[in-house]
Structure formats: structure tokens, C-alpha cells
A and B are shown apart, each in its own frame.
Chain A
Amino acid sequence: KAGVTQTPRYLIKTRGQQVTLSCSPISGHRSVSWYQQTPGQGLQFLFEYFSETQRNKGNFPGRFSGRQFSNSRSEMNVSTLELGDSALYLCASSWTPTGAIYNEQFFGPGTRLTVL
């Protein structure tokens, strides 16, 4: 099975711009979570989607948003970029049968975002 894929792998943007990152989960996985990784804060949860619905959200400003499509692919968007948004953005997928246990998450390689 192919793993979690994320595109693009690297992005350079300037302050004030917006960016969209894409994540394709492992085939059959319906849950997609997004995390921000920085040297200072470590891995921080952004949000989680299941069946096109956001089920959980971390403590990030409204500039960070996401969505999930019917094929379970997900995108996250960051508007009005700030220097502090520079980070590795990681997507993780898991197989989550409806109403059942939330299983182990498998991470993609991440998108390295640099804001200048």
C-alpha cells in the first residue's frame, strides 16, 4: 500500500500571502489529521477530519482551516501568512471504522513551509 503523500514538499511564501497544502491518505483510511511541527513548540495538533467533517480542532487561529473531500483527501489552508507560520506541516491518516476505536496514525513526509 502506498503511504501518506503530501504536496508540495517545499513552499516559500511571503508574509500576507495564503497557502494551500494537500494530503492524500493511505487507501481506505478515512480520518486525516494535521499537525504543525516547529523546533520550539514540537508537534501541535491543528485539526482532524473524518468523512468530510471536522471532528476536532486544536488551538490555532482562524487563519488555519482545512477540508476533506469525499475520497478522503484533505487540504489545509493558511491565510495571511505570518513569519511564525514557518514550520513543517504534517498530515496523518488512520483507519477509523464508524463508531469504533481511533487507531494508529500514519504520517506523511510533511510540507516544509517557509514564510519570508
Chain B
Amino acid sequence: GENVEQHPSTLSVQEGDSAVIKCTYSDSASNYFPWYKQELGKGPQLIIDIRSNVGEKKDQRIAVTLNKTAKHFSLHITETQPEDSAVYFCAASKEGGSEKLVFGKGMKLTVNP
């Protein structure tokens, strides 16, 4: 089955710096890669996703890249702000049916003012 690895597990940056989270997946048939942000006491919130027919996607300060050949995808956050502090999860799935999301272990991001 699919296995998703996420690195690093924690990251601390200064406000205004950039943050990068990297994930790798094992199943080459996976074609949907969402990123979730989870704040304390809340459920994960979808922040951006990418499908395998796209190599990069941007949404304001957030961008995601996908390398299908290497089976890895990354989340880039620019100009970080204290409110970006949260746990970020990557996930992988195969669209087209009832395939489950397989999540990475998560990365705790701390943005210091």
C-alpha cells in the first residue's frame, strides 16, 4: 500500500523567512496530493492541493511542487507569519474511486515573531 514520508518533523523559523516541507510517496499510481494545516484543538484544514497532471501550484504565499519521477512533493511558505504556526500534513491518494488519504506524520512549524 501507499506510504508517505514527511520531513522535517519540526521547523522553527523567524517571521518573514521561508519554510519548506518535503514529502515522498511510494505508490506511483497516486495522483492527488493535498496539504493540510492543523491548529491546536481543530481538525485539519485543506490549504492547497495538487494533481499529478500539474507540476506546480501557487496560492498567495503558499506553493506546492510535484516531481512524479522522483515521487516527491513539497510545500513552500514564503514570508511566514506567526499565524502560520501549526502542524502541517501532506497526504497522497488515488482519485477516481474510494481511495483513502494516506498522511505523512506531520511537521510542527513555529514562526517566531
Contact = CB atoms under 8 A, between A and B. Distances in A.
Interface string B20-40: 000000000000101010000
Contacts of B97: 55, 102
B101 interface: yes
Contacts, number: 61
B95 A102 contact: yes
Interface residues of B, number: 25
Contact of B100 (A56, A90, A103, A109): A56
Contacts of B45: 107
Dominant secondary structure of chain A at its interface with chain B: strand
Given A43-B89, A101-B95, A102-B97, A90 B103 contact: no
Interface string A79-109: 0000000000010100000000111111111
A58 B42 contact: no
B43 A110 contact: yes
A42 B99 contact: no
A42 B43 contact: no
B42 A102 contact: no
